[in-house]
Structure 1
Amino acid sequence: MTASTVSLFGRRARRRWVHLILGGALAMPYVFLGSVILGPFTGSAGVFTSLPLQLASFAIGLPVAAVTSLFPPTRPLESGAVRALCGTDGDALAHGPARTRGERARTAAWFTLHLGLGGIVSGMSLAVPSLAVFLIVLPPFAWLGGTRLGLPGALDAWWVRALTPVAGVAMLLALAACAAGCGALLARWAPVLLGPSPRDRLAAAEARAADLAVRNRLARELHDSVGHALSAVTLQASAARRLLDTDPGFVREALAAIEDTTRRTVGELDAVLGVLRDGDAPGTAPAPTLAADLDGLLRRTRAAGQRVTAVVGTDPATLPPLVSREAYRIVQEGLTNALKHAGEPVSVRIGSAGGRLEITVENPLATAPAPRRPGGGHGLSGIADRVRLLGGSAHAGAAGGLWRLRVLLPLGTT
Structure 2
Amino acid sequence: MRAPVRALLGRRARLRWVHLILGGALLMPYWLLGTLVVAPFAGGDGMFSGSPAAQFGAYAVALPLAAVTALFPLARPMSVAAARTLCGVPADRFADGPARSRAARARTAGWFTLHVGLGGLVSGASLALPPFAVSVMALPFSAALRESELERFWALDQRWLVYGGVPAGLAMLAALAAVAAGAGALLARRAPLLLGPTPADRLAAAERRAEELAVRDRLARELHDSVGHALSAVTLQAGAARKVLDSDPRFVREALGAIEETARRTVGELDAVLGLLRRGEEDAELPGRPGLEALDALLAATGRHVSLSVRDGDVTGVPEAVSREAYRIVQEGLTNAARHAGGEPVSVTVGRDGDALEITMENPLPARPPVARPGGGRGLRGIGERARLLGGTAEARPVDGVWRLAARLPLRGAAR
Name the TM tier (shorter chain). Answer: 0.7 to 0.9
Which residue does the alignment assign to 2:325?
A: 326
Which residue does the alignment assign to 1:377?
A: 377
Q: Which runs of structure 2 are paired with 1:2-401 in the superposition (5 Å)?
A: 14-42=14-42, 43-44=44-45, 47=48, 49-71=50-72, 73-86=74-87, 87=89, 93=95, 95-96=97-98, 98=100, 105-127=106-128, 142=140, 150=146, 153-155=158-160, 160=164, 164=168, 167=171, 170-171=174-175, 173-191=177-195, 195-196=197-198, 198=200, 205-240=206-241, 243-273=244-274, 275=276, 277=279, 286-290=288-292, 292-302=293-303, 307-315=305-313, 317-318=315-316, 320-321=318-319, 322-352=321-351, 355=354, 356=356, 357-365=358-366, 367-372=369-374, 377-397=377-397
User: 1-side partners of 2:269 and 2:222: how far apart?
Assistant: 9
CA contact (8 A) 2:215 2:282 kept: no
**CA gap 1:19/1:379 in 2 versus in 1, 3 angstroms:** farther
User: 2-side partners of 1:110 and 1:352: how far apart?
Assistant: 63
Query: CA RMSD, aligned part only?
Result: 4.2
- Report the alpha carbon displacement of residue 23 of structure 1 after superposing the two structures with TM: 1.4
- Secondary structure of 1:394's aligned partner: strand
User: 2-side partners of 1:11 and 1:364: how far apart?
Assistant: 73
- Report the alpha carbon displacement of residue 108 of structure 1 after superposing the two structures with TM: 3.6
Structure 1: unaligned runs, 5 residues or longer: none
**CA gap 1:393/1:118 in 2 versus in 1, 3 angstroms:** same
User: 2-side partners of 1:11 and 1:235: how far apart?
Assistant: 67
User: 1-side partners of 2:260 and 2:381: how far apart?
Assistant: 29
- Secondary structure of 2:315's aligned partner: helix
User: 1-side partners of 2:34 and 2:387: how far apart?
Assistant: 68
User: 2-side partners of 1:335 and 1:73: how far apart?
Assistant: 54
- Secondary structure of 2:406's aligned partner: strand
Deviation digits for residues 350-371 of structure 1 (CA, Å, limit 9, x no counterpart): 2558545142343535545154
Deviation digits for residues 127-173 of structure 1 (CA, Å, limit 9, x no counterpart): 455666777x77xx84xx67587386244786x47955873574255
User: 2-side partners of 1:358 and 1:284: how far apart?
Assistant: 23
User: 2-side partners of 1:371 and 1:234: how far apart?
Assistant: 16
User: 2-side partners of 1:12 and 1:5: how far apart?
Assistant: 12
User: 1-side partners of 2:312 and 2:16: how far apart?
Assistant: 70
CA contact (8 A) 2:94 2:195 kept: yes
CA contact (8 A) 2:360 2:406 kept: yes
**Segment drifting more, 357-366 vs 111-120:** 357-366
- Secondary structure of 2:45's aligned partner: coil
Q: TM-score, normalised by structure 2?
A: 0.76
Letter in 2 for 1:372: P
**CA gap 1:221/1:121 in 2 versus in 1, 3 angstroms:** same
CA contact (8 A) 1:393 1:408 kept: yes
User: 2-side partners of 1:397 and 1:154: how far apart?
Assistant: 103
- Secondary structure of 2:363's aligned partner: strand
User: 2-side partners of 1:283 and 1:352: how far apart?
Assistant: 25
- Report the alpha carbon displacement of residue 388 of structure 1 after superposing the two structures with TM: 1.1
CA contact (8 A) 1:25 1:119 kept: yes
User: 1-side partners of 2:192 and 2:37: how far apart?
Assistant: 34
User: 2-side partners of 1:2 and 1:258: how far apart?
Assistant: 75
How many residues matched? Answer: 398
User: 2-side partners of 1:318 and 1:131: how far apart?
Assistant: 90
CA contact (8 A) 1:320 1:413 kept: no
Deviation digits for residues 65-110 of structure 1 (CA, Å, limit 9, x no counterpart): 234335554344334434444436568536235575x665554433
- Report the alpha carbon displacement of residue 16 of structure 1 after superposing the two structures with TM: 4.0
User: In percent, how many aligned pairs have the same letter?
Assistant: 49
CA contact (8 A) 2:291 2:327 kept: yes
CA contact (8 A) 2:359 2:407 kept: yes
1:410 aligns with 2:414: no
CA contact (8 A) 1:310 1:349 kept: yes
User: 1-side partners of 2:130 and 2:229: how far apart?
Assistant: 72
Deviation digits for residues 278-333 of structure 1 (CA, Å, limit 9, x no counterpart): 6899999642222x122211111117xxx434454453524623333212111111
**CA gap 1:336/1:130 in 2 versus in 1, 3 angstroms:** farther
User: 1-side partners of 2:182 and 2:52: how far apart?
Assistant: 20
- Report the alpha carbon displacement of residue 113 of structure 1 after superposing the two structures with TM: 2.2
Which residue does the alignment assign to 2:154?
A: none
**CA gap 1:37/1:298 in 2 versus in 1, 3 angstroms:** same
User: 1-side partners of 2:269 and 2:180: how far apart?
Assistant: 61
**CA gap 1:409/1:244 in 2 versus in 1, 3 angstroms:** same
Structure 2: unaligned runs, 5 residues or longer: 152-157
Q: TM-score, normalised by structure 1?
A: 0.76
